[in-house]
Structure 1
């Protein structure tokens, strides 16, 4: 019996060693995954500040906290387990889901680019001005709901890409990496968003007379720069949507992915240039794909309206 117990303890010790060695690789996997989802993170960071525009400045951080909390719950409670279950029982579904998410990002990116150059902005603004007035509390709730809905799509892409990165790892590794990425990304995104939306308040505080002249000058410059920064961030977010969406799809379609890899390898001697070339080509491809998706969506809406009229 003693011999059997010792053998069992040896097996347990061996299992612990294997598990420890496997877990040692978790930080590397988290870093690798975080790099892969960087484009989505940029987009999420760029999109979120718009949801607090026009609301009470005193409520900005509270609103950001509400969005962040719901984002983390979605990642950990709903999306993470769902992707693990799908990946285990229906692994063939992961790629189509990723491509569907990529197509959505391209569509959203194209819509944003189109709106920048559209001549219907004034009509759109007039239509918005005719919307019935709502209370600040209702507007805040509506903004949070809209932000969480957009974040859900981006979070789903982040979790799916995370799983795709660690699908060949043990289940414990998959769970730990997905939890770590979910927590790290959420804190990073919404911590930075909170800093962005309060930057003008920080600048106003620094511009007070009690501070030194250089500090006051920096504070005033910060206040003046923030609108420009938010505009630039919006452009970067749109580009990131197109780039990430197209790259997700290209990596799963060989005749699209191989030329992209060939381009990157041809410029491998200059890594920054290789990355920039891949991003530009992907963004252009995403814009083209978004254009065609938008046409299909518009056609689908027209057909649906026609069917409804005929049925009526």
Structure 2
């Protein structure tokens, strides 16, 4: 059985196009009802939670993730994601691999947000703001910074760390989250915030918003949710309580939420006009973990 640690996982996930392609395949399978992925469950500790996420996507993989989301004592209001992914043979159930979940989670989440960005942003959109300073923001910048379509800026609640990230990835640093959001045509939120970091009043008509953080609270404000056309990975994002469902979508009519896989396979048009605000809300989904694990295993062959 293969066991891969942090640095080995980072190397195996370095092919961003292979990763986004496999994540798109998994999202299409979810939207088409071809996957078996129960809602995430969690055990709650004093300072965090341990979530369990099993799943099966035909032709992608069979496995389960155990992920601990805990407060980071060194950074109040932030959280860390640590855990492991167990992969099994989808034909006979043999255990095949144990993978470090931290780099896998960051990479597959960034790939999901990137797939949604490509599908939902206006065709003429260029300016993207990445909001965040931690591992998830780094993973998002790694995918976007080398793509010539996008003019990328970064901002965060700690602007000194945002400036360091901008220098590391060769992108711009926005003066603040608000200033960056007002200037952007797409805003990707990658934080551990427990309160909204982006406000509807900052978003110009036609902006695309991605939110992959908010494991312990809402990352987007209620006004953004009310104004936007909503997209997500899986059907239970609005009907399941957190941490399986999204904090932002509790009480939202599930009929308002379109699965992003339906946009990717052409069965839903996605964006309908250039002034529409689109919002992709990700809560994390085992199908994405299986997609990333498939890329890792392919890199080892």
TM-score bucket (shorter structure): under 0.3
Question: TM-score scaled by structure 2?
Answer: 0.26
Question: TM-score scaled by structure 1?
Answer: 0.26
From the two aligned structures, give the one with the greater helix fraction: 1
Question: Larger radius of gyration, structure 1 or 2?
Answer: 1
From the two aligned structures, give the one with the greater strand fraction: 2
Which structure is higher in RCO with an 8 Å CA cutoff and minimum separation 6?
1
